[in-house]
């Protein structure tokens, strides 16, 4: 059995802590034979435990404490601490591992409630579960989610070589916004989501780049952001935004311009990697 979970790109500008899209990088958990103790084989990072201390197993045992240990093989091309939902993918995989091995028969909504309680907000875990574009909220333990297709665009991700942990990225955010500022920020977010659902990428792009919740505070933490945004806009991209808490920079491009923008970003010689990604429409899935 293999559990597959997509990477996610959250916020998408003004959709702070509530909007995300599943994209084509993946965490895979191969469930092998039963064993005396949990064993996880991986070469992702030496800091990641290979036994029951691994977050994957911790999550699974929260749901089903009596799970029979197995040998597992973990592979991932989702980079750690880069704003592409690496920790959320493990949380969702852990829930699915318990779901499968303990025959919990969880619905997607039940998985979302559990994952949101663990993660604190649904923007990454929701698209990892459902796939596609997901607009979600969590308030007073009530979790809601709306799933929709993403408009026909290409995603071009610049992933820097350096990490930016969420706790560091949140540290630069203000403790509060004035009522007037909050209303303005909310109205921009409303337009962004409405335009995405309608497929109006020109309007969506302007709103995405007008975020007032987090991007203006975080952009100075990502030294390549301004150059990529300028380059992409000059070549006709719809929008450039910080993926999640960063430092990945995501460009939304018309499909006929994506290859050109991708090559131009690569030619800049930034310290990092550039990828063309697609929307994952399936979310977490299990292959026998």
Question: Would the annotation count 243 as a binding residue?
Answer: no
Angle between helices 55-63 and 86-101 (to 10 degrees): 40
Question: Would the annotation count 120 as a binding residue?
Answer: no
Query: Which ranges in the chain belong to alpha helices (H)?
Result: 55-63, 86-101, 108-119, 125-130, 166-171, 179-198, 201-208, 215-218, 225-234, 258-267
Question: Would the annotation count 80 as a binding residue?
Answer: yes
Question: Would the annotation count 283 as a binding residue?
Answer: no
Question: Would the annotation count 84 as a binding residue?
Answer: yes
Question: Would the annotation count 88 as a binding residue?
Answer: yes
Task: For the chain, state the CA radius of gyration.
Answer: 19
Whether 49 contacts 178, CB under 8 Å: no
Whether 42 contacts 90, CB under 8 Å: no
3-class state of residue 192 by DSSP? helix
Question: Would the annotation count 81 as a binding residue?
Answer: yes
Q: How many helices (H) and strands (E) does the chain have?
A: 10, 11
Question: Would the annotation count 85 as a binding residue?
Answer: yes
Question: Would the annotation count 56 as a binding residue?
Answer: no
Q: Count how many residues are written for the chain.
A: 288
Question: Would the annotation count 83 as a binding residue?
Answer: yes
Which amino acids are annotated as binding site, given as ranges? 79-89
Point out the annotated binding site for ATP: 79-89
């Amino acid at each position: 059995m293999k559990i597959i979970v997509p990477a996610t790109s959250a916020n998408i500008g003004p959709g702070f802590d509530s909007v995300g899209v599943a994209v084509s990088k993946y965490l895979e958990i191969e469930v092998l034979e039963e064993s005396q103790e949990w064993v996880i084989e991986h070469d992702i990072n030496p800091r990641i435990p290979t036994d029951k201390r691994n977050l994957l197993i911790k999550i699974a045992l929260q749901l089903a404490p009596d799970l029979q240990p197995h040998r597992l093989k973990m592979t991932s091309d989702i980079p750690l601490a880069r704003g592409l939902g690496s920790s959320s993918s493990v949380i969702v995989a852990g829930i699915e591992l318990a779901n499968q091995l303990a025959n919990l028969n969880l619905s997607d909504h039940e998985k979302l409630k559990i994952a949101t309680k663990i993660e604190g907000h649904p923007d990454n875990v929701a698209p990892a579960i459902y796939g596609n574009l997901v607009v979600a909220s969590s308030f007073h333990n009530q979790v809601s989610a709306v799933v929709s297709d993403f408009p026909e665009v290409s995603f071009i991700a610049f992933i820097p070589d350096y990490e930016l942990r969420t706790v560091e990225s949140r540290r630069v955010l203000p403790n509060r916004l004035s009522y007037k500022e909050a209303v303005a920020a909310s109205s921009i977010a409303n337009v962004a989501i409405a335009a995405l659902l309608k497929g109006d990428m020109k309007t969506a792009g302007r709103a995405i780049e007008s975020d007032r919740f987090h991007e203006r505070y975080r952009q100075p933490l990502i030294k390549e952001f301004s150059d990529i945004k300028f380059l992409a806009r000059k070549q006709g991209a719809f929008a450039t935004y910080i993926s999640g808490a960063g430092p990945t920079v995501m460009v939304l491009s018309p499909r006929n311009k994506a290859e050109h923008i991708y090559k131009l970003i690569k030619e800049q010689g930034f310290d990092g990697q550039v990828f063309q990604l697609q929307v994952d429409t399936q979310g977490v899935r299990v292959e026998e």
